């Protein structure tokens, strides 16, 4: 059996809701393909990178108390808000952030949710290492963290992860802060973590310069491909 085929798309200019609906359509196609036993054809999996406009999303296990601003305040800043079906709590998506969505039928990869999250974390850690940023995992929290050069923080999160799985077909994925406007995180308790020693950061914040989003994205894509061992197809 050959490597799984993953179609990659970098979607620009679409609303959060439109991309969410598109993900769900792709997930349902893979589930239907599974029910039909693929008709003898290998399935096409999907990987999407996008850069959303300002939006807060609350996972199914999250608390709305972790959203600290009213609808009127969100509207004044042009920030949308959605309750969605991924795991995890509340997070922010916006310009300068690569939000990556994996729509994979894990029957063709592996049946291990912890390994799935680990491999996404590893791809981000490897990408950051190429820029001289030493990143790591937390034993308590998912995602990728960077030691904080501050007396007020111990670690800052640079990538959040939240996944939903139905019949072993994945949905949602990760949010990787590249040039992200970090002040938007002040309106929420990111990922529901109330530890004052933990904050958020971005590549721009760590390196002191604006990054080229597509160049970082290309390196991240390469690392995901090597870790998940798939054949890449461009959409």
List the catalytic residues: 191
Question: What gap in Å lies between CA 95 and CA 16, rounded to an integer?
Answer: 12
Beta-bridge mates of residue 30: none
How far does the chain reach from its first CA to its final CA, in angstroms?
23
Beta-bridge mates of residue 56: 81, 92
Q: 179 with 96: CB under 8 angstroms?
A: yes
Q: How many CB atoms lie within 10 A of CB 9?
A: 16
Packing angle of the helix pair 113-129, 213-228 (nearest 10 deg)? 140
Q: How many CB atoms lie within 10 A of CB 93?
A: 24
109-123: burial string, b at 16+ Cβ within 10 Å, e else: beeeeeebbebbbbb
Question: What gap in Å lies between CA 95 and CA 93, rounded to an integer?
Answer: 7
Residues in contact with 7: Cβ distance below 8 Å, sequence separation at least 6, in sequence order: 44, 45, 46, 47, 233, 234, 235
Q: 97 with 51: CB under 8 angstroms?
A: yes
Q: 50 with 19: CB under 8 angstroms?
A: yes
């Amino acid at each position: 059996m050959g490597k799984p085929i993953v179609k990659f798309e970098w979607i620009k200019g679409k609303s959060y809701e439109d991309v969410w609906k598109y993900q769900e359509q792709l997930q349902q196609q893979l589930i239907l393909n599974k029910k039909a036993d693929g008709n003898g054809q290998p399935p096409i999996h999907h990987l999407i990178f996008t850069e959303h406009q300002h939006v807060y999303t609350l996972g199914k296990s999250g608390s709305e108390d972790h959203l600290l601003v009213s609808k009127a305040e969100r509207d004044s800043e042009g920030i949308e808000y959605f309750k969605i079906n991924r795991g995890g709590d509340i997070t922010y998506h916006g310009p300068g952030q690569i939000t990556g969505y994996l729509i994979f039928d894990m029957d063709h990869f592996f049946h291990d949710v912890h390994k799935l999250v680990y491999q996404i974390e590893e791809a981000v850690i490897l990408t950051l290492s190429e820029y001289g940023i030493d990143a790591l995992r937390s034993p308590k929290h998912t995602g990728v963290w960077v030691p904080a050069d501050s007396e007020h923080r111990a670690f800052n999160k640079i990538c959040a992860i939240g996944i939903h799985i139905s019949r072993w077909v994945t949905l949602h994925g990760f949010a990787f802060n590249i040039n992200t406007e970090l002040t938007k995180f002040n309106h929420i308790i990111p990922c529901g973590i109330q530890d004052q020693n933990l904050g958020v950061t971005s590549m721009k914040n760590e390196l002191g310069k604006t990054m080229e989003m597509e160049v970082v994205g290309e390196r991240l894509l390469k690392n995901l491909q090597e870790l998940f061992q798939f054949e890449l197809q461009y959409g």
